[in-house]
Structure 1
Amino acid sequence: MTIETFDLLLGLVKEDIYKQSTNWRRAISPEERLVVTIRYLATGASFRSLAFQFRMGRSTISTIVSETCEAIWKNVQPIYMPFPDRKLCMEKARQFNRKWNFPNCFGAVDGKHIRIKASHKSGSLYYNNEQFSSLFLQGVADHECKFVTVDIGANGRQSDGGVFRNSDLAKCLDINAFDCPTSQQLPGSEDKTPFVIVGDETYPLLPFLMRPYPRQNLDQSKKIFNYRLSRARRCVECAFGIMNAKFRLLTKSIETSVEHATVIVKAICVLHNMILAREGIDIEAAMGVEDHCEIVNTRTPTAERNSPRYAINVRNTLTTYFTSPVGSVPWQAYI
């Protein structure tokens, strides 16, 4: 984060984290509060370590981090991660197709387990199959590796299919809360599909969510579809990789309550967007970042047996389009 970005962020949150000094105690300034919080998010240092570095009490550090992250989400989210609407989705889809050659798609979805230190009272509620407690973060990334929307808070014990189906993200997509076009012509073709997002084989096949074909007995057209989808998904893998690299807290256990951990992760996501929007990044150079970051993935593929017929038809339409003269690209012949 540059000094200019820090100053802008301070201006956005200053009013919400300002505290009045008293006759008995000098209030910690908004600048100090923000520095403490950014240091925590960027390094993942323990509250005990930060208390020593900044000469504050451990509980003071904890309170500062929680309050500042709430202020960051409140003030930064409307600017750098606004709730998607029709205009935004159409612009994202246009840019996504230009960059990743996947039409009528406004983003790619993926998820990761965020380590937490769950309380003893929660039992095994947050205990996942990799033997650690976690919250599940799902994000939809756009063509520039920025998050269009995120869904945080599902407990790590849930199955992969259950996490998505029970998420607010799935509900919003199901009722078309983003007001995306439900029938849009593919470029240069008379065929139409709804606007979709793309995910890997751990996600279900749905009218608004495309996943790869199962890998057994694939013909050439299905291999091409899988390749085009896999390539389009690189943006969300890159988004998580960049975010992990910048905010090392995500590679460690968050030592707060589940409620505060959720707010902290939300703040990290909007800061990720803010930094990319203001400072940019070489996306091609960043494509290997996720390979060097500790991204915990305990997810397993889901079956396609109960996929809706309409969703299958949408995928088939895209498959046909990708092998047509108007929808094909030269490099797909070399898979």
Structure 2
Amino acid sequence: MDAIGRNGDHGWGPEIACLVFFFWLASGTSYQVVARAFDMPRTSVHRAIHTTSGKVASLFAQTIHHPSEEELVVVGAGFARLAGSAAFGRVAGSIDGCHIRVKPPARDADCYLNRKLFYSIQLQAVVDHTAKFIDVCVGYTGSVHDSRVLKNIPLYLENKHPPPGYFLIGDGGYPCLSYPITLMTPYRQPLRNQLQAAYNSRLTKARVVVERAFRILKTRWRAIFLKALEVDILYVPEVIICCTILQTFVSAKGMCWTMRMVSMTTKILGERMHLQALSREQKRQVSWPVLCTTGPRLHLI
């Protein structure tokens, strides 16, 4: 809450707005269902979700960033342990992409159809040895190849990462590069010797950490990722960015932050249920006839 800010432009309060947003992310339901769950107008739910997602997305630069020189030493050592070889001690990250199911616009729907024959928007990310996101790009349509996405993102165009002396690792969907960034990929089949086979095996052991990051992301927000996002196609990238930011934040803060969120959720929802119960009791008292057994009786003649 301190990171997002406590000032709101509506009467529900920032805590309620955050809970509405998290509930929507966790459940993947429509705004109408969320409105019934929180006893709020649908327009207020829409405003709360979009306002909160904008605030969360604004934390991108301070949450998802490339490691410093000191951190790179730790990252390289971590990848060396994953690969089981000191030759991977200069790995600065593992890169891969995944497809996010969407409902495409009627116009240009074919652009969103990927090779797995469903409509999607691509999330391309780089993670460190702990599966923490250190670079994220969202927005390319599902029909675009991984290598083309790579060559059109700031990571590649501006040579932002990795620094000289370090390299990224990726799967066979990417080209092996030395400029403008250094990217190592597996040898293609058929392999010529045992040395190439050993290299591929070590690289795969280190590279799969990015797939683990995607699995964690899709498991934590399964309602969002396991079905087509029912939002405007232009809003999808912001939702995905929010999910990656929240995953990075939760990984850094651990269970303490999660338990505080659960405690706050229980407290606020409990208060709202109490108020709803009082409201129902007041309505019942108003609607029921008033029976007076001790006062004077009025006789109509």
- With normalisation by structure 2, the TM-score equals 0.75
Contact 1:140–1:147 (8 Å) recurs in 2: yes
Residue in 2 aligned with 1:267? 242
Where in structure 2 are the equivalents of 1:118-137 lying within 5 Å?
118-137=104-123
Query: Any idea what the Cα deviations from partners look like across 1:211-264, whole Å, max 9, x if unmatched?
Result: 110121331110110011000012111111111111111112112223311111
Matched, 1:147 2:128: no
Change (3 A) 1:109 1:35: same
SS in 2 for 1:154: strand
Residue in 2 aligned with 1:32? 16
Matched, 1:82 2:65: yes
State the Cα distance separating 1:265 from its structure 2 match: 0.4
Task: Return the match for 1:65 from 43, 49, 71.
Answer: 49
Rounded to whole Å, the distance in 1 between the matches of 2:228 and 2:35 is 18
Contact 1:33–1:65 (8 Å) recurs in 2: yes
Matched, 1:104 2:90: yes
Rounded to whole Å, the distance in 2 between the matches of 1:96 and 1:215 is 24
Q: Which has the bigger relative contact order, CA under 8 A and spacing at least 6?
A: 1
Residue in 2 aligned with 1:13? 4
Which amino acid is the alignment partner of residue 134 of structure 1?
Answer: S
State the Cα distance separating 1:140 from its structure 2 match: 0.7
Rounded to whole Å, the distance in 1 between the matches of 2:216 and 2:193 is 35
SS in 2 for 1:107: strand
Residue in 1 aligned with 2:76? 93
Rounded to whole Å, the distance in 1 between the matches of 2:234 and 2:71 is 30
Contact 2:191–2:197 (8 Å) recurs in 1: no
- With normalisation by structure 1, the TM-score equals 0.68
Where in structure 2 are the equivalents of 1:185-264 lying within 5 Å?
194-207=165-178, 208-248=182-222, 249-264=224-239
Residue in 2 aligned with 1:320? none
Which amino acid is the alignment partner of residue 19 of structure 1?
Answer: D
Which amino acid is the alignment partner of residue 164 of structure 1?
Answer: L
Aligned residues: 248
State the Cα distance separating 1:98 from its structure 2 match: 4.2
Change (3 A) 1:111 1:119: same
Q: Which of these two proteins has the greater Rg computed from alpha carbons? A: 2
State the Cα distance separating 1:19 from its structure 2 match: 1.7
Contact 2:92–2:162 (8 Å) recurs in 1: no
Rounded to whole Å, the distance in 1 between the matches of 2:194 and 2:161 is 34
Contact 1:80–1:273 (8 Å) recurs in 2: yes
Change (3 A) 1:82 1:166: closer
Which amino acid is the alignment partner of residue 60 of structure 1?
Answer: S
The 10-residue stretch of structure 1 (245-254 or 38-47) with the greater mean CA deviation from structure 2: 38-47
State the Cα distance separating 1:28 from its structure 2 match: 1.6
Rounded to whole Å, the distance in 2 between the matches of 1:171 and 1:135 is 21
Rounded to whole Å, the distance in 2 between the matches of 1:83 and 1:37 is 28
State the Cα distance separating 1:84 from its structure 2 match: 4.8
Any stretches of 5+ residues in structure 2 without a counterpart?
Answer: 256-301
Which amino acid is the alignment partner of residue 14 of structure 1?
Answer: G
Rounded to whole Å, the distance in 2 between the matches of 1:214 and 1:99 is 22
Query: Any idea what the Cα deviations from partners look like across 1:21-66, whole Å, max 9, x if unmatched?
Result: xxxxxx1211111111111222322323212212234443333222
Which amino acid is the alignment partner of residue 31 of structure 1?
Answer: E
SS in 1 for 2:229: coil
Q: CA RMSD in A?
A: 2.1
Change (3 A) 1:81 1:105: same
Rounded to whole Å, the distance in 1 between the matches of 2:231 and 2:134 is 26
Rounded to whole Å, the distance in 2 between the matches of 1:217 and 1:98 is 25
